[in-house]
Amino acid sequence: MKDRRILVTGGAGFIGSNFVHTILESTENVSIIVVDKLTYAGNLKNLDKWKNDSRLQFIKLDITDKTEVFSKLENIPVTEIAHFAAESHVDRSILGPEEFVKTNLMGSFYMLEFARMLHAQNKLRLFLHVSTDEVFGSLSAEGAFTETTPYAPNSPYSASKAGSDHLVRAYFHTYGLPVITTNCSNNYGPFHFPEKLIPLMILNCLQGKSLPVYGTGENVRDWLYVKDHCLAIDLVMRTGKFGETYNIGTRNEKNNLEIVYKICELMDERNPKGAPHKKLIQFVKDRPGHDFRYAIDPAKIENELGWKPKYKFEEAIEQTVDWFLANRSWWEEILSGEYNKYYDSQYKELKDK
């Protein structure tokens, strides 16, 4: 593929920034335009490595502002859009769903409208929409989500993502927009925002704070290393079929307690002063409407596009813990800012018994 110019929405967030790293590390002839509002979850430090690289451009932009989207992007040549920008935290969607509807639904709608304009001018090759397995709802002990599993979102977050997936689908059928949607499972890895389970547990271990486990800790998630996820998205963008959806996962189901125990074990080796970290575990009030189990069947992307993950959970979780230990200033700055105020006020309610 020649002269790729990829517009990455949400490129300063966790997965979006990892995607930028993946592409710039592997592709010489590419330009990346990151657009991001820099909400509490967006952080330009995530892209520090490339700040002097002429292949990367940053535009501060709110995708929920249609005028801003069209005016700021009007003269920027773009051949592909990778749409990551979203409000992403389920707990926040329970406390305040409005931002989720605005960003995930209306923001995606404006990006689709912008893409439709580019497509009409024969400029756009692909609109890649990054979505989640949570749109399929909750599983009991058996089975896994496939691309044909009916949608049954349960939280305001997943409902807003489901709405955006449907809009993307409609733009393919109605306007012939070249779209692909990916639905992946829970990511973990470098630059993961500290409110999510894995980084929260690592950082609370390091600070000797309690480790809040919702309910009984038996809820199951299917953990996907973010670098594998980004390699899969890259593959889908280059070889996927327009109008299709692809599930991305690595058959790596763990219940939450298993994850917390694993982190405690790794922290015991690295921070013996705090051992045993397991003593910090506290069972707290369950998340309202807490989905019991997610599991992805990745057979389609494996069989049709030849995808294989590169990383094993055991090594990737160690690398993740070590990344947080080696990047103290990154998370200390987050913990001392706006996020901390939020966590201490409303968010704490959810975690109290």
- Binding residues vs ligand TDX (CB under 6 A): 88-90, 132, 134, 186, 196-197, 200, 212-214, 219, 221, 256, 287
Question: 60 or 89: whose CB is closer to ligand TDX?
Answer: 89
Residues 6+ positions from 151 with CB-CB distance below 8 Å: 135, 136, 137, 162, 165, 166
Does residue 10 belong to the site contacting ligand NAD (CB under 6 A)?
yes
Distance (Å, rounded) from C-alpha 145 to C-alpha 295? Answer: 6
Distance (Å, rounded) from C-alpha 277 to C-alpha 207? Answer: 11
256 contacts which partner out of ligand TDX, ligand NAD, none, CB within 5 to 8 A by kind?
A: ligand TDX
Residue 148 tokens, joined: 């044909």
Nearest to 104 by CA among 185, 46, 170, 168: 168
Q: Pick the catalytic residue: 91, 133, 228, 253?
A: 133
Does residue 15 belong to the site contacting ligand NAD (CB under 6 A)?
yes
Catalytic, 342? Answer no
Does residue 155 belong to the site contacting ligand NAD (CB under 6 A)?
no
Q: Pick the catalytic residue: 110, 157, 188, 225?
A: 157
6 contacts which partner out of ligand NAD, ligand TDX, none, CB within 5 to 8 A by kind?
A: none
For tokens 């069947």, the residue is 297
Does residue 199 belong to the site contacting ligand NAD (CB under 6 A)?
no
Residue 169 tokens, joined: 């689908």
Minimum CB separation from ligand NAD for residue 341, in Å? 17
Residue 170 tokens, joined: 């409609």
Does residue 12 belong to the site contacting ligand NAD (CB under 6 A)?
yes
8 Å CB contact between 260 and 210: no
Q: Pick the catalytic residue: 36, 134, 228, 253?
A: 134
Is the sign of the CA dihedral 256, 262, 268, 271 positive or negative? negative
8 Å CB contact between 105 and 257: no
Chain position whose Cβ is nearest to ligand TDX = 132
Catalytic, 74? Answer no
Catalytic, 133? Answer yes
